[in-house]
Chain A
Amino acid sequence: MTLPVETAWDLYIVGFGNPQRRDDGIGSYIIRQLKSALKANDRIGFLSVRHPEPSIAEALHSADRILFVDATIKALTHGWQLNRIQPELEMLPYTTHHFTPMAILGMIKIIYGQSPPAWVLAVEGCDFGFGHQLTATAQKRAGSATLAIIGWARANLQTPLMSGQPF
């Protein structure tokens, strides 16, 4: 393994989920859309993985901000929701199969001394059965969320993150 090159990402976006389980693939779908729209900005990193795992901490720790994207079964008012998250240090997962974005931040804080500001974009899914396509409803919600992130990224990534600034 090569020693990591410390890349100063303005934003690192991580999508979770299994694209072979229909709307569980929302994370990777949004990553693909964002990559396509934001590819001109070489200070945005993208990663698509099945679930949070300890090995991604190394790639994320030097980012200015982190955005995690995942499907949820919870009903959300607009079909998607953006929430700020904090490092979880007190209730760390028992096994690596149950790592959460908060635990990833906690791990980064322990190992590197501090963790970047981070958010979770949750998008409501309808069908988590076997299949490669998102449902039409989930795709619409994912599209809406993606546009919001693209708009924000284009407007804000040229300037430093201000305290209290939403995402």
Chain B
Amino acid sequence: MTTTRKITLNPISRLEGHGKVTIHLDATGEVQEARFHITQFRGYERFCEGRPFEEMPIITQRICGICPVSHQLAAAKACDAILGVEIPPAAEALRVLEHMGQFIQSHALHFFYLASPDLLLGWDADPAERNVVGVIGKYPELAMKGIRMRKFGQEIIGALGGKKIHPAFAVAGGVAHALSEPDRDRLLEGFPEAYATCQTGIELIRNWLQHHWEEVKRFANFASPYAGLVDSNGCPDMYDGKFRITAHDRKIIKEFDPADYLNFIGEHVEPWSYLKFPFYKPRGYPEGCYRVGPLGRLNIADGLSTPMADRELTQFRQLSKNGLNGCTLLFHYARLIEALNCLERAEQLLKDNGICSRDIRYTGKPVNAEGVGVVEAPRGTLIHHYGVDEYGAIRKVNLIVATGHNNMAMNRSVQLVAQEYIHNGQVNEGLLNRVEGAIRCYDPCLSCSTHAFGQMLLGIHIYRADGEILAEIRRE
């Protein structure tokens, strides 16, 4: 008589932060259920209480070392709302420029460091080689290009905020420094190479998808709504705009002011994970699942705001037509198209005559008891919501972080991939890498989304129903 088994992936590799996957097999060795667990807690929403609200951009950006700029900007926008000010145009332009730098470095990091090993070396490659160092070994020129593209994005951040990680830049009411003309000129020199590398990446992923299209169609392909911020032209806007949710066929379900998010987004808690499950309230949980991030943003888009990226979007639509825009592996393609969009946007900003203006901040006293700041982070929509007392001290904090929005979708993706590739209780490392790969598509930042930090390992454990470990894969 066969027994049911549980497979646990612990640690999960090539993600930011840490997580665990458990896969429960039924008596016939087929996947019954899969869960993506986040097992850490950090407490930002609580320990920020009592701090002066102006400190929040500095405090909350330390949630993460990969996307600190997103937190800094969302926090600064929430602070602007508390102050009741509209920041000077140059300050907004500089914040957006910093944000573009972050998108460029984060997306380059993810594609070239984290995703490319699976694409270039194969799902079933030796785990000892299936990482960025393996890519460096076999494709040194491509690897160096990717490393330099990431460095370019970091240089934009560093030129503005003084350092590339946890920059001191966006503040309540504006930004702390103006951009110097020498720095602007130096940054402009870097675009030709960055564009070339980005286009190389786009061609690589598009060719890979086309060559592996049958697998792509089977790999965590499911219909879902999509969500993100859009501008008045319906183009994704990483810094501001209306929050749009569309159906799988891209028809708009709802658009609303992101400051009203509480009327439309709820958060569900499951006992087996510290990462909450945001959902679209009118549809309830779990039917209100939606996806954010690069695939979400391209699927809600009427177009992209820059010409080269908009042309790439046309090709993306062509590839993903006939309802295939929900294929999870398309995240990698969408991510690089976004990187191109952000490169173009950054260049536009740097070429604007006002980018070196010194009119960069308003100061004042708080006039509102609450402030909501919403931006698009590389991984999806990021919401910072603060309440303050009459002295400006924080009395409540609510953070809904990009990866959190995708929690339900990641769980569903893991289950679909596990069901596709694990049968009769047979598992091997390559199959389990595909399960990890499903999560990796979302480029989750688990440190952010639980506001968590730690050294907990992720791994894959396969358990029988009686609790006995059948197999174990760990990353040391």
Q: Do A and B bind each other?
A: yes
Flag whether B476 is at the interface (Cβ < 8 A): yes
Contact with A along B159-180 (1 / 0, CB 8 A): 0000001000000000000000
Q: Considering the complex, which residues of chain A in the window 67-124 have a beta carbon less than 8 Å from any beta carbon of chain B?
A: 92-96, 103, 107, 110-111
Interface magnitude class on chain A:
10 to 19
Query: B191: nearest residue on chain A (CB-CB)?
Result: A1
Quick check: B136 and A1 within 8 Å, CB to CB? no
Quick check: A58 and B193 within 8 Å, CB to CB? no
> Which secondary structure dominates where chain B touches chain A?
helix
Flag whether B148 is at the interface (Cβ < 8 A): yes
Flag whether B186 is at the interface (Cβ < 8 A): yes
Report which of A3, A55, A94, A110 forms a contact with B140, defined as CB distance below 8 A: A110
Flag whether B122 is at the interface (Cβ < 8 A): no
Interface size on B, residues (CB 8 A): 28
For A57, A58, A94, A107, the residue with the greatest tally of chain B CB atoms inside 10 Å of its CB is A94
Quick check: B140 and A111 within 8 Å, CB to CB? yes
Flag whether A2 is at the interface (Cβ < 8 A): yes
The complex places the Cα of A2 from the Cα of B183 at a distance, in Å, of 13
Q: Considering the complex, which residues of chain B in the window 88-147 have a beta carbon less than 8 Å from any beta carbon of chain A?
A: 113, 131-134, 136-137, 140-141, 143-144, 147
Asked whether A111 and B136 contact (CB < 8 A) given A54-B147, A58-B144, A94-B475, the answer is yes
Report which of A3, A55, A96 forms a contact with B151, defined as CB distance below 8 A: A55
Contact with B along A44-73 (1 / 0, CB 8 A): 000000100011011000000000000000
- By a CB distance below 8 angstroms, the chain A residues around B155 are 1
Quick check: B149 and A1 within 8 Å, CB to CB? yes
Report which of B14, B132, B141, B149 forms a contact with A54, defined as CB distance below 8 A: B132
Report which of B136, B137, B141, B476 forms a contact with A94, defined as CB distance below 8 A: B476
Q: Considering the complex, which residues of chain B in the window 375-402 have a beta carbon less than 8 Å from any beta carbon of chain A?
A: none
Query: B15: nearest residue on chain A (CB-CB)?
Result: A95
- By a CB distance below 8 angstroms, the chain A residues around B141 are 111
Quick check: A55 and B476 within 8 Å, CB to CB? no
Quick check: B137 and A1 within 8 Å, CB to CB? no
Query: B140: nearest residue on chain A (CB-CB)?
Result: A111
Closest 6 CB pairs of A and B: A1-B190, A92-B133, A1-B152, A111-B140, A55-B151, A2-B189
25 A-B pairs within 8 Å (CB atoms) are namely A1-B149, A1-B194, A2-B186, A2-B190, A2-B193, A3-B193, A50-B165, A54-B143, A55-B148, A55-B151, A92-B131, A92-B133, A92-B134, A94-B131, A95-B13, A95-B131, A96-B113, A103-B133, A107-B136, A110-B136, A111-B136, A111-B140, A111-B141, A111-B143, A111-B144
